[in-house]
Amino acid sequence: MDADEMQGWLNCWEKDTAPWHIHHVHEAIEKYHEILAASPTAKNKIFIPLCGKTVDIKYLADRGNEVVGLEASEIAVRDFFTEQNIEYTSEDVPAVKGKLYRSSDKMIKIYCCDLFLFSAEVESGFSGIWDRGSLIAMSQADQKRYIGLIKTLTYPGIGYLLEMPDRDPNIGPPFSVPLDVLETGFGPGCRVVQLSEVVKNPPEFLSMPGVKGNHVYRISFQ
> Considering only 60-68, 88-96, 113-121, 186-194, which stretch makes contact with ligand SAM by CB under 6 A?
113-121
Helix (H) or strand (E) holding 46: strand 45-49
Residues in Cβ contact with 15 at an 8 Å cutoff, skipping those fewer than 6 apart: none
Nearer to ligand SAM, 28 or 137 (CB): 137
Dist CA 205 CA 214 (whole Å): 9
CA gap 84, 87 in Å, rounded: 9
Is residue 44 near ligand SAM by the rule CB under 6 A? no
Site for ligand SAM in 176-195 (CB under 6 A): none
Among 168, 147, 180, CA closest to 210: 168
Part of the chain binding ligand SAM (CB under 6 A), chosen from 29-37, 68-76, 83-91, 98-106: 68-76
Q: Exactly one of 137, 161, 177, 190 binds ligand SAM (CB under 6 A); which one?
A: 137
Does 72 engage in binding with ligand SAM (CB under 6 A)?
yes
Q: Does residue 205 belong to the site contacting ligand SAM (CB under 6 A)?
A: no
132 binds ligand SAM (CB under 6 A): yes
28 scored as a contact of ligand SAM (CB under 6 A):
no
According to CB under 6 A, which one of 44, 65, 73, 127 is a site residue for ligand SAM? 73
Q: Which residues pair with 110 in a beta bridge?
A: 69, 101
User: Among residues 163, 210, 171, which one has the least CA distance to residue 20?
Assistant: 163
The CA distances from residue 10 to 131, 132, 169, 215, in Å, are 19, 18, 24, 27
Minimum gap (Å) between residue 162 Cβ and ligand SAM: 11
From the CB of 71, what's the least distance to ligand SAM, in Å?
Answer: 5
